[in-house]
Amino acid sequence: MAHLDLLSDRQKSNQFRLGRRIYQRIGKRTLDLGLALVLLPFLLPVIAAMILAIRLQGGPAFYAHMRVGQHGKRFTCWKIRTMVGDAEDRLAKHLQTNAEAAEEWQRTQKLQSDPRVTSLGRHLRRTSLDELPQIWNVLRGEMSLVGPRPVTVPELERYGPHKHIYLSLKPGVTGLWQVFGRSNGCYEQRLRMDRAYSKKVGLWQDLSLIGRTALVVTRGTGC
């Protein structure tokens, strides 16, 4: 009887792993395309309104940056521009004159009080609306709706010997770190969350994170 129970447990485990592999290879991309196409008619007017608002302030509406994708493939990640035109110069001056900010930047590559961000950009970041153009990256297959936050080449080096965890997945518009850790998460926490997500990639986890992302947007808890 115990032998039969053990055999049954192994069969269930094998079926679970098979289901995960099928979802990762076929189901996840199907979910990305299906949900992206359903959301697109609702997102386009919001994106158009943001473009108009940014253009009225002057300067380009979009910010494009090279990121590292699955298997190390690089791609152009799109966002609504939330920073001033001379952002890099302002950041360099700010870090040179503010030791606390320099330490925060070294630890997280983010600043809670960022001198580069415009007043409108601050609101867009809190609601994560600036990331809506990444729906284009999802449609192109460069990103997934759910996955690790996309990183630059220098940022990927912070993963050290564990970078294969990030490279095994498509970066996500949302994910564990985007929902639970983005406001104050360091790279150690980010790595832990990427590892946790990679071990449990599945439909219900993805749907849960997409639902929680809606709460982040409505509550304005992003950064």
| Residue 45 maps to a domain | yes
List the structure tokens of 6: 């053990």
| Residue 18 maps to a domain | no
Top-confidence residue, 126 or 74: 74
> Does the predicted model carry a pTM greater than 0.85?
no
| Residue 11 maps to a domain | no
Average pLDDT over residues 165-177: 93
- The tens digit of pLDDT for each residue in 177-221 reads 888 876 555 778 888 899 999 988 999 999 999 998 888 777 665
- The tens digit of pLDDT for each residue in 102-118 reads 887 777 777 777 888 88
| Residue 154 maps to a domain | yes
- The tens digit of pLDDT for each residue in 134-145 reads 999 999 999 999
Cross-strand pairs, 83: 117
Top-confidence residue, 37 or 85: 37
Question: Using CA atoms, how far apart are residues 209 and 13, in angstroms rounded to an integer?
Answer: 24
| Residue 39 maps to a domain | yes
The residue range of the domain holding 72 is 26-82+117-219
Count of C-beta atoms within a 10 Å radius of residue 44: 12
| Residue 55 maps to a domain | yes
The percentage of residues in the chain with a pLDDT greater than 70, rounded to a whole number, is: 88
Contacts of 77 (CB under 8 A, 6+ apart): 64, 65, 66, 67, 134, 137, 142, 143, 150, 171
The answer, yes or no, to whether residue 16 has pLDDT greater than 70, is: no
- The tens digit of pLDDT for each residue in 62-117 reads 999 999 999 999 999 999 999 887 778 888 887 888 888 788 777 777 777 788 88
Number of domains the chain is built from: 1
